[in-house]
Amino acid sequence: MKTGHGRETMKIEVRNLSKRFGPVEAVSNVTFGVREGELLGLLGPSGSGKTTVLRIIAGLETPTSGDIFIDGVRVNELSVQQRNIGFVFQHYALFKHMTVFANVAFGLTVKKWSRPDIKQRVEDLLQLMGLERMGDRYPHQLSGGQRQRVAIARALAPRPSVLLLDEPFGAVDAQVRQELREWLIRLHDDLDVTSLFVTHDQEEAMEVSDRLIVFAKGRLEQVGSPAEVYEEPATEFVARFIGSMNILDAEVKSGVARVGTLEFPAPQFQDGHHVHIGFRPYYVKVSDDATRFRQQARLRHVYFLGVSYRLEIETDTGLILRSRMNKEEFRQCRFEVGRPVSYAITHFRILPQESSPQAMPHVPLAGPFTP
Amino acid sequence: MARRLLIGLVWLYFMGLLVGPIGYLCVQAFEGGAAAFWHEITRPEALHGFSLTIQITAIVLVVNVIFGTITALVLVRQRFMGQTIMSGLIDLPFAVSPVITGFMLILLFGPGTILGTFFGEADIKVLYALPAMILVTLFVTFPFVVRELTPVLQTIGTDSEEAARTLGASEWVVFLKVTLPAIRWGVIYGATLTVARSIGEFGAILVVSGNVLMLTQTATMHIYQSYVDFNYLGAYAVAVALLAVSFLILIVLELAKTRVTAVARVGAAS
């Protein structure tokens, strides 16, 4: 995967990083950079190695091989205490026997700040976090969202050069999570501290990140802006993991990949080559008028999703495809489950085949979808 | 009806086994009046016994709390060879009779052995002296602190310790400011059990002390000695004094226990 972003200065650089736990390679040969002031998301399913990468950057874990640079300085030999990073743990990891004030002040006390300076800094941070009157409380007296903010305040207090967050919203319930996400984006805009966060929630990653890095099985799959990753998935894994995607298996013949009656131009591939064709549900246009589009199918299911509808159609050749349309489009048609419809695919991508054949699930026609 | 019978049975068992003997002991101890009681617990042999018991308990307490905490930390937080074996052997003192413990020490430090010769030449008296009495008490009380701390350490996890490190805290500060406060009630519970056992230990000490009057007689041994010397009042009086200490310990234990479970609950909830 390409990660070189010109000569611009990188706040954090990870080079050829690998980490083994016994026989398991949790991280294999990962290289990427985090730009100054950026909010970067590390996205991947659980067990994909993203948290390990974060912990190695922090110095909480030692890499098997590879280098970490912060502000251009190689920090491999520096202990976690010397790296000047702020780390926010998934389950807050607040000091339960200390008040909110003492929690936030901890890093400053350790660094021997003067008492008035500590008081000033902690009060400023508590105000910034909307925790003004919470200084005397103990962690168990706070809500999940408040604890999370205390954890962030504590990490920010000693003015770290970078902020690392491990599943920052993993432990709060869905309603608070949305609020916290928006709050984190605003906070990041205000503070301008380079931040790297880990998440398994693709929606969260897309919403919060300036750029994101997709991980799978310890390898880096793609680096890019949320829009790039969504619209131009670099690998089949990314296509399946981010959003919902129809994936078809096709064979190329004279520059065209054919699946049943569907034809996808694929001039760059030779005859007999197997490719995967991917297209998002909203690129599948469906009409109740059987003559509107060239391709014919039968409507199998209609799912109401609130702001939109998802349609499941079965083509004449037995493919099952997913389509998505908004309410207006849906109301213009008179859909009835079981009736014939016509459809067209307006946009598609040819996904690179994964190198190892056994790594690819061999689903014959219509691919399964990410939830 | 059956329920009442059952409750009655439990009451009878409880009274007959616990309250009865204790009550009767107290009555007996004060049979000669408060003055006689006072006389018995302040006679030189008794005072010497108390003093010796306190010395042993104090030293064992300090050593056991320090090494018990270190052992628990290493067992829970480190991965090393022989860990499972060590973890399994920690409870050994529970299974070994104190008398056997005493004999093991005699075998180890006897006049013919390497250790015995070594200390003999250095003119340090181990057997039939304070060092041996401390050693057997340490052996007997070894599991208390470790066993109390391992589950607490597992529950609290390492997150807050790691958080402290990312904030720049040295290992010593992490231990003092983060780990220790989180496990303190476990330490107190283990320490209290250690004190209770140290004060009450008899068998192992009897074997290694030689039971020398005014020299190696602890409080429990003084009770035994008084009893075989037909000084029943002396035996009862000192026994009641020790019993009073036991009650104090019981109160601390109850207090510590609620805090330990509170830590476990808070730890599990977050």
What ipTM describes this predicted complex? 0.80
The verdict on a CB contact (< 8 Å) between B166 and A94 is no
CA B47 to chain centroid: 20
Q: A4: pLDDT confidence band, cut at 50, 70 and 90?
A: very low
pLDDT of residue B263: 63
Which pLDDT score is estimated for A352?
66
**Residue A363 clears pLDDT 50, i.e. is over it:** no
Q: Tell me whether residues A106 and B159 touch, CB distance under 8 A.
A: no
pLDDT at A43 over 80: yes
What is the spatial distance between Cα A122 and Cα A145, in angstroms, rounded to a whole number? 18
Task: For residue A348, give the nearest of A235, A252, A225, A265 by alpha carbon.
Answer: A265
Contact assessment for residue A78 and residue A220, using Cβ atoms and an 8 Å cutoff: no
Share of chain A above pLDDT 90, in %: 53
Reference B64, options B169, B135, B15, B127; nearest CA is: B135
Contacts of A84 in chain B (CB under 8 A): 168
**C-alpha neighbours within 13 Å on the C-beta side of residue A20:** 5
Give DSSP secondary structure letters for B70-116. Answer: HHHHHHHH---TTHHHHHHHTTHHHHS-HHHHHHHHHHHHSTTSHHH
Is residue A227 predicted with pLDDT exceeding 50? yes
pLDDT, tens digit, 9 for 90 and up, residues B148-159: 999 999 999 999
For residue range B86-145, what is the model confidence (pLDDT) as tens digits? Answer: 998 999 998 999 999 999 999 999 888 888 888 888 888 888 999 999 999 999 999 999
Percent of chain A surpassing pLDDT 70: 92
- State whether A106 and B162 contact (CB < 8 Å): no
Contacts of A97 in chain B (CB under 8 A): 181-182
Give the model's pLDDT for residue A316: 82
Query: Where residue A5 falls among pLDDT bands split at 50, 70, 90?
Result: very low
Question: What is the value of pTM for the model shown?
Answer: 0.81
How many whole angstroms separate alpha carbon A353 and alpha carbon A347? 19
pLDDT of the residue at A336: 87
Residue B253 clears pLDDT 50, i.e. is over it = yes
| Position A357 pLDDT exceeds 50 | no
In our burial notation (b when 16+ CB lie closer than 10 A, e otherwise), range B2-30 reads eeeeeeeeeeeeeeeeeeeeeeebbebbe
- Tally the C-alpha atoms within 13 A of residue B139's C-alpha that lie toward its C-beta: 23
pLDDT(A231) > 90: no
Residue B162 to residue A140, Cβ atoms within 8 A: no
Among A141-150, A343-352, B257-266, the range with the most confident prediction by mean pLDDT is A141-150
Find chain B residues with C-beta within 8 A of A92's C-beta: 270
How many angstroms away from the CA of A87 is the closest CA of chain B? 6
Distance between A146 CA and the closest CA of chain B, angstroms: 13
Q: Which two tokens stand for residue B246?
A: 């036991």
Place of tokens 């908004």: A326
Query: Of the given ranges (A188-202, B12-26, B186-200, B252-266), which has the lowest mean pLDDT?
Result: B252-266
Contact B162 A81 (CB under 8 A): no
If 0-12 CB within 10 Å is exposed, 13-18 middle and 19+ buried, where does residue B88 land?
exposed
| Alpha-carbon span A117 to B124, nearest angstrom | 57
- C-alpha distance from A344 to closest chain B C-alpha (Å): 51
% helix / strand / coil in chain A, to the nearest 5? 30, 35, 40
**Chain A residue closest to B165 (CA)?**
A81
B160 contacts in chain A (CB < 8 Å):
93-96
Residue B181: which of A83, A97, A140 has the nearest Cβ?
A: A97
Strands A340-345, A295-304: pairing is: antiparallel
CB contact under 8 A, B167 and A107: yes
pLDDT tens by residue, A148-164: 999 999 999 999 999 99
Per-residue pLDDT at B265? 58
Give the closest of B159, B164, B182 to A106, CB-based.
Answer: B164
Name the closest residue on chain A to residue B184, using Cα atoms.
A97
Q: What is the pLDDT at residue B50?
A: 95
Residues of B in contact with A158 (CB under 8 A): 167-168
Whether pLDDT at A366 is above 60: no
Kindly report each contact of residues A105-109 with a partner whose C-beta sits within 8 Å and lies 24 or more positions away, as own/partner: A105/A157, A106/A154, A106/A157, A106/B164, A106/B167, A106/B169, A106/B177, A107/A154, A107/A155, A107/A157, A107/A158, A107/B167, A107/B168, A107/B169, A108/A157, A108/A158
Q: What is the mean pLDDT of residues B240-259?
A: 88
A60/B166 touch (CB, cutoff 8 Å), yes or no = yes
**For range B42-57, the mean pLDDT:** 95
Cα(A115)–Cα(A133) distance, rounded to whole angstroms?
Answer: 19
**Taking 50 as the threshold, does the pLDDT of residue A349 lie above it?**
yes
- For residue B239, give Cα distances in angstroms to B58, B200, B201, B245: 20, 10, 13, 10
Question: Euclidean distance between the first and final Cα of chain B, in Å?
Answer: 46
Is the model's pLDDT at B64 over the cut of 90?
yes
| Whole-number pLDDT of residue A355 | 43
**Cβ A91–B270 below 8 Å, yes or no?**
yes
DSSP for A101-139, written as a single string: HHHHHHHHHHTT--HHHHHHHHHHHHHHTT-GGGTT--G
Q: Is residue A14 pLDDT above 70, yes or no?
A: yes
Which residue numbers of B have CB closer than 8 Å to A's CBs?
Answer: 159-160, 162-170, 173, 177-178, 181-182, 266, 270
Contact B169 A60 (CB under 8 A): no
Cross-chain residue pair B162–A95, CB shorter than 8 Å: no
pLDDT at A178: 84
Distance from C-alpha of A310 to C-alpha of A326, rounded to nearest angstrom = 9
Min mean pLDDT across A89-93, B43-47, B210-214 is at B210-214
Whether the Cβ atoms of residue A8 and residue A35 lie closer than 8 Å to each other: yes
Query: What does the pLDDT read at residue A368?
Result: 34
pLDDT surpasses 80 at A364: no
- The per-residue pLDDT for A353 is 65
Q: CA A324, CA A309: separation in Å to the nearest integer?
A: 6
Residue A329: predicted pLDDT: 86
Q: Which of B166, B173, B183, B270 to mutate to test binding with chain A, by most A CBs within 10 Å of its CB?
A: B166
pLDDT > 80? residue B264: no
Quick: pLDDT tens for B66-81. Answer: 999 999 999 999 999 9
Q: Does residue A316 contact residue A296 with C-beta atoms inside 8 Å?
A: yes
Is the pLDDT higher at A359 or at B14?
B14
Measured torsion, CA atoms of residues B108, B113, B118, B119, in degrees rounded to the nearest 10: 50
pLDDT of residue A354: 54
Extract the tokens encoding A128. Answer: 């910034």
A contact test, residue of B77, B167, B259 with most A CBs within 10 A: B167
Say whether B163 and A58 touch across the interface (CB within 8 A).
no
User: Which of the two residues, A106 and A187, has the higher pLDDT score?
Assistant: A106
Listed in sequence order, the residues at least 6 apart from A313 whose beta carbon sits closer than 8 Å to its beta carbon are: A284, A286, A297, A298, A299, A300, A320, A321, A323, A341, A343
Is the pLDDT at B270 greater than 80? The verdict is no
Contacts of A56 in chain B (CB under 8 A): none
What mean pLDDT value characterizes chain B? 91
Residues A205/A224, Cβ–Cβ less than 8 Å: no
- Smallest Cβ–Cβ distance between A106 and the set B162, B167, B181 belongs to B167
Mean pLDDT of chain A: 87
Q: Please count the residues of chain A.
A: 371
Query: To the nearest whole angstrom, how far is the Cα of A96 from the nearest Cα of chain B?
Result: 8
Binary contact (B168, A158; C-beta < 8 A): yes
- Candidates A59, A81, A93; nearest CB to B170: A81
